[in-house]
Amino acid sequence: MGIDELVLCGVNTHACIRMAAVDAYQRDFRVVLAEECVGSYDAEHARVSLDYMNGKIAKIVTVSEIVKALGAI
């Protein structure tokens, strides 16, 4: 299908989002996390997970940046 990049959003950043990002990364997808669209009931674990993922297995960007990038396609 030619898909090589995924934008992820959802809840439980420290669990579901982190695992989905790692799985996608291991399958050679570029992973983008929509900053305002991820959340968790555990703020500390979410922060640690975002710090771990950012720049290594995922790129964290704002929704505005995602919309702007899609408009350029």
Q: Is the pTM of the predicted complex or chain greater than 0.85?
A: yes
Which tokens sit at 26? Answer: 């291991």
Answer yes or no: is pLDDT of 63 > 80: yes
Sign of CA dihedral 4, 61, 47, 54: positive
Residue ranges per structural domain of the chain: 5-71
The size of the chain, in residues, is 73
pLDDT value at position 30?
97
What pLDDT digit, counting tens, does each position of 2-51 carry? 999 999 999 999 999 999 999 999 999 999 999 999 999 999 999 999 99
3-state helix, strand, coil split of the chain in percent (to 5) is 45, 30, 25
pLDDT exceeds cutoff 80 at 73:
no
